[in-house]
Chains A and B, each alone.
Chain A
Amino acid sequence: DQQVKQNSPSLSVQEGRISILNCDYTNSMFDYFLWYKKYPAEGPTFLISISSIKDKNEDGRFTVFLNKSAKHLSLHIVPSQPGDSAVYFCAASDESPGDKVIFGPGTSLSVIP
């Protein structure tokens, strides 16, 4: 049973346009959400996060929106750049003893020059 879902395996966007990556979750106990970026043959790199008490967090070109009632979050990248081409993982955590992070399957973003 997948608790964090990313229904789009891949996304292509023109350079300079907005990239929107979507994520849905099923566990209402999740209270912290993260986005990681991963290049081939490397480990995931933390990108941006949001606490469940907020509905928006912005960091430069990256903004994460959280809709708790819909159990949905999205990552907006604007303007998109070719270097943003990577796999993006949505992840969530609750206050379980391990604070383990549950990852979605990832969305592969291609930014076309």
Chain B
Amino acid sequence: NAGVMQNPRHLVRRRGQEARLRCSPMKGHSHVYWYRQLPEEGLKFMVYLQKENIIDESGMPKERFSAEFPKEGPSILRIQQVVRGDSAAYFCASSPHRGAEETQYFGPGTRLLVL
């Protein structure tokens, strides 16, 4: 059973370009979470999605960031017009059900570098 997959593992963008980060949850998991880890900091919650629905986006910056989890295919975190401050590791996690007791399984992350 493959774990959570994220691609690309590394992404380099110039300021003003768009970044698309993909996350394929574990088989049978319909809940996806995105986190961001800035250098020297812990992981910060961004958004929680179920299939075709955004449940909680309280951690998402108001502009330039969006996320989706379509009925088919991976979850996508999209950052438009990237700036240097967007450079970070972006982790996706998935779980089979909602509930704090359900452990979230993390992917290996996408490291975004904005030049």
Contact = CB atoms under 8 A, between A and B. Distances in A.
A44 B43 CA distance: 10
Interface string A28-53: 00011010100001111110010100
Interface string B70-106: 0000000000000000000001010000111101111
B56 A96 contact: yes
B: contact size bracket: 20 to 34
B103 A103 contact: no
Nearest to B93: A43
Contacts of A6: 42
Contact of B100 (A41, A42, A99): A99
B115 interface: no
Interface residues of A, number: 29
Contacts of A32: 100-101
Interface string A62-99: 00000000000000000000000000010001111111
Contacts of A89: 42-43
Interface string B36-48: 0000111111001
B98 A99 contact: yes
Given A89-B42, A105-B41, 18 more contacts: A31-B100, A42-B108, A43-B4, A43-B107, A49-B103, A89-B43, A98-B45, A98-B48, A98-B56, A99-B99, A99-B100, A100-B45, A100-B48, A100-B58, A100-B59, A103-B35, A103-B42, A103-B44
Interface of A: 4, 6, 31-32, 34, 36, 41-46, 49, 51, 89, 93-106
